[in-house]
Amino acid sequence: MVQNVERRSAHGEQAKRRASRVAQDSGKRDADGDGVSAADPNGLWGITKEAFANRAALIASKLDAGSNELVKAVIADYESKRGRTAIVWALRERLAGAEPADIVERALDDLREVSAILDAKAPEDAAAFKALLLGISQKVATAATEHTVLGFGGVLVSEAEKATLAEIAEALNPSHRSSVQL
């Protein structure tokens, strides 16, 4: 058992260092959910639900036994006060004065950059990490009903969100056209 713990710790430290390098190189770890939320803004309640969906998806991935060490290391960084502060400041700087359409484009650019960094620096972990990002995007998209009137009617995922999800899938995996399942 001790050997197993030591092996995992060594692998975990290696993954944390790799995650830290990937995160530092990109500086853009929250682009997935923000892009979907900005695709079709949905009022205060909808934005709140989408923000909680983003956080819930991270927690679920952290607790998922199948998550790889890179995913867990990045989520752990995100959960630390220092990590959250860095992300908040980076997002403020990146999105200052941006309109929703600009936020979507910036998020897609960030995801393309993250995808390229993952492919170059962590190819063995890239697919799992990209699946995490796409999964978060899908959970954010389905978190709140769009275009309701006093809570009645509406659709679960708007056409703008569907289009943005397809663009996110393409940004994360440009060589494979992906159909997004909702």
Task: Give pLDDT tens digits for 39-93.
Answer: 655 666 667 777 777 778 888 888 887 888 888 888 888 888 998 898 888 888 8
Beta carbons of 97 and 40 less than 8 angstroms apart: no
Which is more confident, 160 or 33? Answer: 160
| Burial of 86 per CB tally in 10 Å (0-12, 13-18, 19+) | middle
What pLDDT score does 166 carry?
A: 94
Q: Is the pTM of this model over 0.95?
A: no
Supply the DSSP symbol for 179: P
As a whole number of angstroms, the distance between CA 66 and CA 84 comes to 24
How many Å is the Cα radius of gyration of the chain? 17
- Residue 26's pLDDT band (cuts 50, 70, 90): very low
